[in-house]
Amino acid sequence: MEFRELHFLYSKKIRNEYMQGNLWNQWMSEFPQIFKIEENAWAPNQYNGGYGFFEMLTAILIYKAVGFLSLTEYCKPNKHPQDITLMKKMLDDDLYKFSLGDLTYIGHKPQPPDLFCFAPDYSDWFFCEVKGNQDRFRNYQLEYFRDMQKRTGGKVYLCKLKPI
């Protein structure tokens, strides 16, 4: 089973603005339904160096395109108990536990997908792994996401972002 793919373009200027810390507050106020206020505490550690840019931008682009909200990999459910409750509204216990990446594939523990995207009424959802620029899958990630693809009936997307 092949991954479903999403493709987006982004401006290098926007990434530079993010890395300088100029976008975080704007994104927080413009998209409060995506970004939690408690994420503000870790934001400077992320944008200083560009960490999280592709994931945050993808969450915004998915929201704008189809209205789905996202939980990010940076907002792990163990840090936000309300996210556990929310995910369990849509996933059974086995799939929820599997989505946390606690298994070993080819000697490695893969991270969960970058985004858990869902309709505001909880009627639909999907996982999304985000790859920006030169980012590539490692073999153990591929095995994990292929397994997840089978377990979810194809609800795993790969999002590729390319600079223009």
Least confident of 36-40, 101-105, 128-132: 36-40
Residue 156 three-state SS: strand
What pLDDT score was predicted for residue 42? 55
What pLDDT score was predicted for residue 79? 61
CA atoms of 68 and 91, how far apart (whole Å): 16
Render pLDDT for 84-117 as a digit per residue (tens, 0 to 9): 788 888 998 888 888 877 676 667 777 788 899 9
How many separate helices (H) and strands (E) can be counted in the chain?
Answer: 7, 5
State the Cα torsion 37-79-157-97 to the nearest 10°: -150
Render pLDDT for 24-33 as a digit per residue (tens, 0 to 9): 878 888 998 8
Residue 118 three-state SS: strand
**In the predicted structure, residue 162 carries a pLDDT above the cut 70:** yes
Average pLDDT over residues 70-97: 76
Decide if 109 contacts 103 (C-beta within 8 A).
Answer: yes
